[in-house]
Structure 1
Amino acid sequence: MVRHLYVYLVLFATLMMVIGGGISIFMATADLVNPPSYYQTYSDFKIMRQSEKIEGKQAVTLTEEQLRAEYEQLMEDERERQKENAKNQMIKSLGFILIPLPIFLYFNKWRRKSIE
């Protein structure tokens, strides 16, 4: 009786891990296809850059075009960072499928043999 309970608990735990890994891969794929938005607006970026000048951190004055180019580069860098994070998450989530799946299959095979 205890052996059967143990087997069913292992089957349940490994199945939940595989399902969780699948869900996580799906979410990471969605982030890869459509990365989350970056929430800093151009006006916020411009104010932040101007406040740096006031505090004396930067002595060079930038034109509107240079500020816009920096902002666009910041946005592109953020999108790339989000994509890299999504790829990293997919690899990690794959572990939640590849590691418990053989254990699940082994215990399921063992359970079927014990029933017969």
Structure 2
Amino acid sequence: MAIIFIVIIVAGVKVEADKGGKDVIKNVYIYLVLFATLMMTIGGSVAAFMAVADIISPVPYYQTFEEFKRIDNEKLMNNTDKDKTSEAELKKQYDELVLREREMQISRAKNNLVKSFGWIIIPLPVFVYFQRRLVNRDM
């Protein structure tokens, strides 16, 4: 990226040397800042959309009740002094696990949403500022 930036500046200065090379460098700088801040804002917007989608529709829990029951039975075989848990109690534990996992995914999505807003809110004023400078230069 830096090499491309240097090549653009050098080529612009050579072409526009008689018209004022400093103006070309300033314009290239302004366009690069506009491009970078626009990409950051677009990336933040996409990430925010994905976070909202995760809040609305979190990914379902991956483990089935049968797998949960099998793992509990394997633990029971390794630990001989523990009583066997009833089917109803296992189902209750499984449902609580699924609910906790869903709440955790929603919490992570909310955290990502806040971070995504940072990628929108921080570069947006810089973009607007340089956009206005570019418009004022052209007049």
Task: State the TM bucket, normalised to the shorter chain.
Answer: over 0.9
2:39 and 2:87 mapped to 1: Cα distance? 53
Normalising by structure 2, report the TM-score: 0.80
List runs of 5+ in structure 2 lacking aligned partners.
1-23
Superposition RMSD on alpha carbons, in Å?
A: 1.3
- Once the two structures are superposed, residues 8-58 of structure 1 have per-residue CA deviations (whole angstroms, 9 ceiling, x without a partner) of 011011001111111111110010001011110001100111111112287
Which residue number in structure 2 is paired with residue 13 of structure 1?
36
Q: Secondary structure at the match of 1:104?
A: helix
Conserved? CA contact 1:14–1:101, under 8 Å: yes
Aligned length: 116
Normalising by structure 1, report the TM-score: 0.96
**Which of residues 77, 82, 92 in structure 2 aligns to 1:54?**
77
Moved beyond 4 Å, runs of 4+: none
Q: Residues 29 and 57 of structure 1: is their aligned pair in 2 closer, same or farther, counting only changes over 3 Å? A: farther
Q: Residues 113 and 43 of structure 1: is their aligned pair in 2 closer, same or farther, counting only changes over 3 Å? A: same
Which residue number in structure 1 is paired with residue 47 of structure 2?
24
Q: Does 1:4 align with 2:32?
A: no
2:50 and 2:85 mapped to 1: Cα distance? 40
Structure exhibiting the larger radius of gyration computed from Cα positions: 2
